[in-house]
């Protein structure tokens, strides 16, 4: 899952200030991580849920991603679906976001 300035540019948010981009990237990443984690837990049996929880508790995001890729057969599909859902949720807000920062820079 590549959430970066290119992701924001694809949504039409290239013109917002760099600090706001950074904050948006962090927020989007957290949202996607939570949604993917929820879907993973729904798809896993109890033993795997416990194992997944221990991996999450480690705080090592790379380990979590690797664990999901190895233990959740449709992991990539889930990631793709959730990324698309988030994009669809953000798209209607883009004109307002861009206008807000455009107005701020004109003041």
Each residue's pLDDT tens digit, 26-79 = 999 999 999 998 999 899 999 999 999 999 899 898 999 999 999 998 999 999
Query: What confidence category does residue 1 fall into, taking pLDDT thresholds of 50, 70 and 90?
Result: low
What's the pLDDT at 103? 72
How many Cβ atoms sit within 10 Å of the Cβ of residue 24?
A: 19
> What's the helix, strand, coil split of the chain in %, to 5?
80, 0, 20
What's the pLDDT at 102? 79
What's the pLDDT at 90? 95
Average pLDDT over residues 8-27: 94
What's the pLDDT at 107? 54
What's the pLDDT at 20? 93
* pTM of the entire predicted model: 0.84
- Closest residue by Cα to residue 20 from 106, 101, 102: 101
CA atoms of 26 and 50, how far apart (whole Å): 27
């Amino acid at each position: 899952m590549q959430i970066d300035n290119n992701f924001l540019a694809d949504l039409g948010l290239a013109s917002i200030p760099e600090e706001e981009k950074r904050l948006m990237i962090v927020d989007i990443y957290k949202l996607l991580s939570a949604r993917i984690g929820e879907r993973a837990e729904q798809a896993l049996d109890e033993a795997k849920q416990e194992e997944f929880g221990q991996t999450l508790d480690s705080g090592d995001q790379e380990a979590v991603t690797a664990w999901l890729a190895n233990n959740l057969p449709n992991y990539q599909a889930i990631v793709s679906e959730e990324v698309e859902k988030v994009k669809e949720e953000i798209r209607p807000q883009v004109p307002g976001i861009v206008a807000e920062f455009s107005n701020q820079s004109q003041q």
